[in-house]
Amino acid sequence: MSHFTPWPSLAGGIVIGVASGLLLLSSGQIAGISGILAGALTRPARGASWRWAFLAGMLLAGLELARLWPARFSLPGLPSLGLAGLAGLLVGVGTRLGNGCTSGHGVCGIARRSPRSLVATLTFILTGAITVFVLRRWLGAAA
């Protein structure tokens, strides 16, 4: 486990939890990224402005972190751009099938004690574990 980072991970989890809670308390909106993106693309301009600001903030924060700590973004074994794009497309299809993504179900839905979100999150985790098992054991992918 060479990439075990408990303290930065805990700090990131706290920031995500606080941001999700603040969004819910201030506007009644769930911080599910797939829902925010879908709403930004389909809502009238008045209802989409906060969504575009949220998405831009995520992108700009990631770019700034990559500038400040480039080593964190150059892990060995990263996939090609094409493979990453295909994976992103599959994740997008999965979020539509699951009526939400891990951030919406896993962070916000479970916090609201949603049974549907609990089932969805368990499905995400199980599917991820099976995928890693297949890639590593059957297809010989590196860790």
The pLDDT of residue 85 is: 80
Block mean pLDDT (10 aa), the chain, length 143: 77 89 88 85 78 91 89 72 81 80 84 90 89 82 60
Q: How many whole angstroms separate alpha carbon 78 and alpha carbon 39? A: 30
pLDDT in tens, 65-87: 889 988 877 767 767 778 878 88
Look at residues 115, 103, 117, 99 and name the one whose alpha carbon lies nearest to residue 20: 103
The pLDDT of residue 60 is: 94
φ, ψ dihedrals at 69, nearest 5° = -130, 70
The pLDDT of residue 68 is: 92
The pLDDT of residue 50 is: 87
Q: How many whole angstroms separate alpha carbon 101 and alpha carbon 73? A: 23
The pLDDT of residue 84 is: 78
The pLDDT of residue 141 is: 65
Look at residues 104, 105, 83 and name the one whose alpha carbon lies nearest to residue 37: 104
Q: Is the model's pTM score more than 0.85?
A: no
The pLDDT of residue 69 is: 86
